[in-house]
Structure 1
Amino acid sequence: MEKKKGKKTTGKKEHHLWKSRDSAQSGQKALALVRTVYKLPNEKEAVYGALDKWTAWETEFPVIAVSKALKILRKRGHWVRAIQVAKWMISKGQGATMGTYDTLLLAFDMDKRVDVAESSWNMIIHAHIRSVFADMEELRVKPDEDTVRRVARAFRELGEEEKWKLVIKRYGLKWKYIHFNGERVS
């Protein structure tokens, strides 16, 4: 019988206090969160308090479960609750992703709060556009043409002509025409 060299195992399992973000059980957690927020009055303090209590004993913020809950709320058309959960998640410094922002902006629009959606969009653009482009430049990644076009359009719509010109100058923009129902659109 050959002996293995190296680490000797005793058959005991190691236990860690911090667990990795595991998507197992996140579906049940998401449904529990949705059920919890359904029962609450439409008050920010009540919703945020319940959500804080819901995460109180978690070792890590349950990003996956909250994201799934947002998808459920979006699918069911519960726009006010989707707004509350998304804003709470962002206020905790979690889930600042395009998916969360997309759900938040859609929920504002569906709740007939276009003015809030517009101001939120402006906040998102100001908070994240500079860092995205700075990261891309640092890594020497040239954005694709569609990204350049969207960022340039966003700066122009925000009235930031200097930033618009800088994006066009730095990354170039070839004009391309798309045909829709036989007509050329740019």
Structure 2
Amino acid sequence: MEAKEGGYDVNIPLYLSHLNVTSALKHSQKQGELSLTISDAADHTKVQKAGKVEHHLWKKRESAGSGQKAMNLVRIISGLPNEKEFVYGALDKLIAWETEFPLIAAAKALRILRQRRLWKRVIQVAKWMLSKGQGATMATYDALLLAFDMDNRVDEVEPLWNMILHTSTRSVSKRLFSRMISLYDHHHVPDKIVEVFADMEELGVKPDEDTVRRVARAFQMLGQEDKQKLVLKRYQSRWKYIHFNGERAKVRRDME
């Protein structure tokens, strides 16, 4: 029978008993530190979540406010005579008490007018924004070029396009080049299509399929069949989609 004293085995060396006690204390200390770490992390997560919620609510309020302003702007100019002085005067009055230009609201109003196909109003609002030094974005330019196209104001296109190229040379989007070529194709101006395409190539912007077809047609109309073939060879996709037995199939163009 092994003798024990004070709850300890007397046959176990003292230094081993000391190690056991020390290990138990260290284990207890680590458990406490782990609990504190978890608690701190939980508190930090709560702070982060609270911040996110506050930011989200602010964004929602801002979005709702700009939408109301946009609708108000559309309502006001829709009832005005179709003259620049009346429209600009009303828009200036509308923002007179704003601490800063309501760019988001104006951009939304422009989008609404575009959806309603009110091309003259799109032109007026876009020009007004640009006259204030605001909204000089590819989206505004695209809306303005489309409105010029639909309102048959082709004579106003070239000055705007030259300004865009001069101020935004390397950032002109493929979409804007496509818009210009589509506009000139719509109004049967092949020489202008070729000019825009030359700028497109110079800036290294690759045309989409519709643009390639329009450019090739422009060269054909100008009697430059060699350039027409070169454009098709260089840029036209080797593949096309056809409908076969009621299904959409991808085939090589040289297999047609």
The count of aligned residue pairs is 142
Matches of residues 27-66 of structure 1 in structure 2 within 5 Å? 27-66=67-106
Partner of 1:109: 149
Taking structure 2 as the reference length, the TM-score comes to: 0.47
Q: Tell me by how many angstroms 1:94 deviates.
A: 0.5
Structure 1 residue 113 displacement after superposition = 1.2
| Secondary structure, counterpart of 1:85 in structure 2 | helix
- Per the alignment, residue 124 of structure 1 pairs with 164
Whole-Å separation in 2 of the counterparts to 1:99 and 1:157: 22
Cα shift at 1:180: 3.6
Identify which of 131, 138, 152 aligns with 1:91: 131
Max Rg structure: 2
> RMSD between aligned alpha carbons?
3.5
Same amino acid, percent of matched pairs:
56
Q: 2:102 matched to 1:81? A: no
Provide TM-score, normalisation by structure 1: 0.63
The 1:180–1:159 alpha-carbon spacing in structure 2 relative to 1, beyond 3 Å, is closer
* Aligned counterpart, 2:231: none
Runs of at least 4 residues off by over 6 Å: none
Aligned with residue 111 of structure 2, among 67, 71, 79: 71
Following superposition, the deviation at residue 102 of structure 1 comes to 0.6
Higher helix share: 2
- If asked which structure has higher relative contact order (CA below 8 Å, sep 6+), I would say 1
1:85–1:157: structure 2 CA closer, same or farther, 3 Å change rule? same
The residue identity in structure 1 corresponding to 2:99 is T
Distance in 1 separating the partners of 2:122 and 2:197: 30
